Amino acid sequence: MKEVTIRPLKTTDKKGLFSILIQNEWPFHAGSKITAERFEKQFDGDYYTRQGVCTFIIEKAEKLIGFVRLFDLGEDFESDETPLFDIRIQEQDRKQGLGSTALKLVLDYVFTSYPNKNRIEATTRLDNSGMRKVLQKCNFVKEAHYRNAWNCPDGKKTDAIGYGILRADWERDEITSLNWDS
* 146, HSE (Cβ side, Cα atoms, 13 Å): 13
pTM for the whole structure: 0.91
φ, ψ at 147 (rounded to 5°): -75, 135
Residue 113 near residue 144, CB atoms below 8 Å? no
Q: Write the CATH number of the domain with boundaries 4-172.
A: 3.40.630.30
Reported as a single tens digit per residue, the pLDDT across 51-64 is 999 999 999 998 99
What are the structural domain ranges in the chain? 4-172
Over residues 119-145, the mean pLDDT reads: 95
- pLDDT at site 2: 61
